[in-house]
Amino acid sequence: MPLRSAVKQLCAAALVLAAALAAAQPALAPEVAAAIDSISANALRAHVSFLASDLLEGRATPSRGAEIAAEYIAAQFRRAGLEPAAGRSYFQDGRIAPPRRSPNAPAPESVPVRNVIGALPGTDPELAGTCVIVSAHYDHLGQRQGEEGDTIYNGANDDASGVSAVIEIAQALAPLRSAPKRTILFIAFAGEERGRLGSRFYVEHPVCPIDKTAAGINLEQLGRTDDVSGPVTGTAYVTGFDYSDVGPLLQQAGERAGVRLLKHEPNSDKFFTGSDNLSLALAGVPAHTISVGFIFPDYHRPGDHWDKLDYDNMARVVRGIALGVYELANRTAPVRWNDANPLAERYRKARAAAQGAP
- Taken as a whole, the chain contains a residue count of 358
CA distance 52 to 308: 11
pLDDT string in tens for the chain (358-residue length) = 454 444 344 334 433 334 343 434 667 899 999 999 999 999 999 999 999 999 999 999 999 999 999 999 999 999 999 999 999 999 999 999 999 888 888 889 999 999 999 999 999 999 999 999 999 999 999 999 866 679 999 999 999 999 999 999 999 999 999 889 999 999 999 999 999 999 999 999 999 999 999 999 999 999 999 999 899 999 999 999 999 999 999 999 999 999 999 999 887 799 999 999 999 999 999 999 999 999 999 999 999 999 999 999 999 999 999 999 999 999 999 999 999 999 999 999 999 999 987 6
152 in a structural domain:
yes
Please state the domain count of the chain. 1
Does residue 111 fall inside a structural domain? no
Domain span at residue 63 reads: 52-98+121-354
**DSSP 8-state secondary structure symbol assigned to residue 304:** -
Give the span between the Cα atoms of 254 and 136, in whole angstroms: 19
Whether residue 284 contacts residue 353, with contact meaning beta carbons closer than 8 Å, is answered with yes
Other CB atoms within a 10 A radius of the CB of residue 28 amount to: 16
Q: Is residue 284 part of a domain?
A: yes
Q: Which helix (H) or strand (E) holds 120?
A: strand 111-120
CA distance to 122, 187, 300, 325, per residue, from 173 (Å): 12, 15, 32, 9
Whether 85 is covered by a domain: the verdict is yes
Residue 116 placed within a domain: no
- Residue 77 CB partners (closer than 8 Å, separation 6+): 90, 116, 118, 167, 170, 186
Residue 207 lies in a domain: yes
Task: Give the rounded distance of the alpha carbon of 193 from its chain centre.
Answer: 15
| Cβ atoms of 146 and 109 closer than 8 Å | no
Q: What's 105's DSSP letter? A: S
Euclidean distance between CA atoms 319 and 41, whole angstroms: 10
Domain containing 261 — which CATH number? 3.40.630.10
Task: State the Cα–Cα distance between residues 108 and 104, nearest whole angstrom.
Answer: 12
